[in-house]
Amino acid sequence: MKKSSSSKASKPVDPLRPYSSLVLDGPERAPSRAMLYPVGFKPEDFKKPLIGIASTWSMVTPCNMHIDKLALEAEKGANEAGGKAIIFNTISVSDGISMGSEGMKYSLVSREVIADSIETVVGCEGMDGFVAIGGCDKNMPGSMIAIARMNRPAVFVYGGTILPGCIIGDTRKLDIVSVFEAVGAHANKKINDAELQAIESCAIPGPGSCGGMYTANTMASAIEALGMSLPNSSAQAAVSPAKKKDCLQAGAAVVNLLRQGIKPLDIMTRKAFENAITVVIALGGSTNAVLHLLAMANAARVKLTIDDFTCIGKHVPVLADLKPSGKHLMSELVAIGGIRPMMKTLLDAGLLHGDCLTVTGKTLREDLEGVQPYPAGQTIIHSLDNPIKKDSHLVVLYGNLSPEGGIAKITGKEGLRFEGRARVFDSEEQALKKILDGGIKKGDVVVIRYEGPKGGPGMREMLAPTSAIMGKGLGKEVALITDGRFSGGTHGFVVGHITPEAYVGGPLALVKEGDTIVIDAEKRALSLVISAQEMKARRKQWKAPKPRYTRGVLAKYAHLVTSASTGAVTDQNLKLE
């Protein structure tokens, strides 16, 4: 009797090659194999797991200028472990170069482009697993969003921190924020043209990401705490034998994850995200971590909200004396052991979930066994009984100016309350010009609006105006609030991510010049001191602005992007399970 086609045995899928076998196996896939011989494949390679190496190399920025070499190490590691690696590229942009210009509107957009492009290549080419190597701010969450979406064995590698810059005869350790603050000092005639030029020419000595606990180092640390990087990946110099070894081991680790059947969503659990938040707080990390961890959790189908940062932050102290608010650079933390001894301290105190799985195939507790404490006498990481701040520096503020929340970075050095008069600007450029011209005085609250995810579009970072305020010596005397965001290099009395944003009719759009604004970190409140009736009357008079872009990637982004309070994601139809 003739068997029906439905009774035919389906072709077994190789567990080590669940995707590449569908693309490359069998006589009918000969054309696919033919395309790979010219790029270095041999017949025996078609029986090996196909491992992608997502490189963010470019000469756009020093953060990524060395990643092509690191990708070769990851390729070697994957091949030696029994896989067959293929290197491919995605984009990178430079916040440091575009900061304060119209170009900065593309920065947060690049996170989505990076995620989409990695997903596209891995999905199209049937890669069984992959390594993603990122150096600049958006490379990291962009890579992690792609990793979560694809849910194929993967490891993230941080490109590494830059070494400090210096001027001969000067003991200061310079970085990019030194240059931004020098602009303010120059405008205030504290330094001359020659001194400004000397700082700008020496602050960035070579490859690597910006040297303080800014967004790149914050996110690298968060991803390691999440369990998606190998131990110490977050705390290595960009140009070092340790970073090369990290890449080599990452390639091998992906093949090992395939053999063990461990996927990213096995690692990126709710408890793992809580670990990441805890480490970000302990390090005094960037406010951008809130935005990016929310987006990564969304991709991983983990329910995470801005209020989780408040809940966790009540119990976690700030321990790291790192720039921008502190004294030290990431390279100095690398020299004393990186973040692992601090994580061991947090674990032993019950502040980390030790049972979370990591890309080593072990639990976090197992990974931290044998980690030695910091050397005696070091001053970078404080003890739990002598913290820099007893609770989180990341403070979520609600009030009639931020009904859906705003994010403040309160280290305690700025004070806990600020009341002042509103100086209102509808763009970053307008505000920066007034600051540099001396038009901002003690007691002012600089309001920069229409710079949110939709309104900018792109939610620009405000490092230029905040650094100008610091350079002018007004750090404790002037506050700045915005529906945009802040660089990890920002410090001072600042509140960002204010939601709903002005462009969609959020209360920030209703603020008038001279209004009184109160920022109260203890009450976690951001208030415009006017009556409800006055607020209602202003709302009736408000008219929505026309979109700034109607074509291209910025227009598409503005159409798709959600509120900053949910991570400013563009895959808004994703349903949480």
Q: Is 182 exposed, middle or buried (0-12, 13-18, 19+ CB in 10 A)?
A: buried
98 SS3 class: helix
Contact 205, 165 (CB under 8 A): yes
**Sequence-separated (6 or more) residues with CB below 8 Å from residue 278:** 225, 312, 316, 346, 351, 352
Name residues whose C-beta falls within 8 Å of residue 226's C-beta, 6 or more positions apart in sequence. Answer: 144, 267, 268, 272, 273, 275, 276, 296
The gap between the terminal CA atoms of the chain, to the nearest Å, is 47
Residues serving a catalytic function are: 487
Helix (H, G, I), strand (E, B) or coil at 162: coil
Q: Which helix (H) or strand (E) holds 525?
A: strand 525-528
Strand, helix or coil at 47?
Answer: helix
DSSP letters of 434-494? HHHTT---TTEEEEE-S-STTTTTS--B-HHHHHHHHHTT-TTT-EEEESSB--TT--SEE
Contacts of 288 (CB under 8 A, 6+ apart): 137, 215, 218, 219, 461, 485, 486, 487, 488
Buried b (16+ CB within 10 A) or exposed e, 228-256: bbbbbbbbbbbbeeebbebbbbbbbbbbb
DSSP-derived pairing of the beta strands 444-448 and 154-158: unpaired
Alpha carbons 7 and 506: distance in angstroms, whole number: 60
Residue 367 structure tokens: 């990974």
d(CA 393, CA 371) in angstroms, rounded, equals: 27
Report d(CA 97, CA 77) in Å as an integer.
33
Enter the DSSP assignment of 63: T
Helix axes 288-299, 306-313, angle to 10 degrees: 120
Query: 488-510 burial, b for 16+ CB within 10 Å, e for fewer?
Result: bbbbbbbbbbbbbbbbeebbbbb
Residues forming beta bridges with residue 132, ordered by sequence position: 54, 156
| Helix/strand/coil percent split, the chain, to 5 | 40, 15, 45
Distance CA 509, CA 267 (A): 41
* Residue spans of beta strands (DSSP E) within 41-93: 50-55, 84-89
Looking at the DSSP assignment, which residues form a beta bridge with residue 406? 397
Residues with Cβ within 8 Å of 99's Cβ and at least 6 positions away in sequence, in order, are 180, 461, 463, 464, 487
